[in-house]
Structure 1
Amino acid sequence: MSNRVDVAVMIGTGVPQGLRATGQKVCWVVLVNGEQRGTAFSNRIEAEECRAAWLAQLSANACAMQVRAQRA
């Protein structure tokens, strides 16, 4: 199965209350197969770093599954 990992921006009332309380009007979230994973980020750079970590983890999981299948 192919996984899609994206960064999405949220604005206005989509921004969590904790960030809005600090004056944030936008935030970024990581979506894995269309579902939000983890926290909201106050800047895109942090969200992109989280996206990269998800991609690395999903790739490692896919490789491990291939190795297991070859051994079976």
Structure 2
Amino acid sequence: MHSKVDVAVMIGSGVPASLRALGRKACWVVLVNGEQRGTAFASRVEAEECRQVWLAQLATVQGVRQGLRYSA
């Protein structure tokens, strides 16, 4: 099973109050299979870095699962 990891932008009322209080009108979030994971980021760069971590983690889990499948 392959997971899809995306970065999405949230604008307006979708932006958490803590970021709106800092004057932010947009933020970015990481979605794994369409569900938000973690916090909202003030920059796309931060969200993309988080996305890369998710991809690496999911690849590791997938590799372990494949290894278990072939070791039986």
TM-score (norm 2): 0.98
Consecutive unaligned residues of structure 1, counting only runs of 5 or more, are none
Query: Is 2:44 the partner of 1:44?
Result: yes
Query: Is 2:12 the partner of 1:12?
Result: yes
Matches within 5 A, 1:22-61: 22-61=22-61
Give the Å deviation of 1:2: 1.2
**RMSD across aligned C-alpha pairs, in angstroms?**
0.4
Give the Å deviation of 1:67: 0.6
Q: Which runs of 4+ in 1 moved over 3 A?
A: none
Corresponding residue of 2:69: 69
Consecutive unaligned residues of structure 2, counting only runs of 5 or more, are none
Q: What is the count of residue pairs matched by the alignment?
A: 72
Q: Identity of aligned pairs, percent?
A: 64
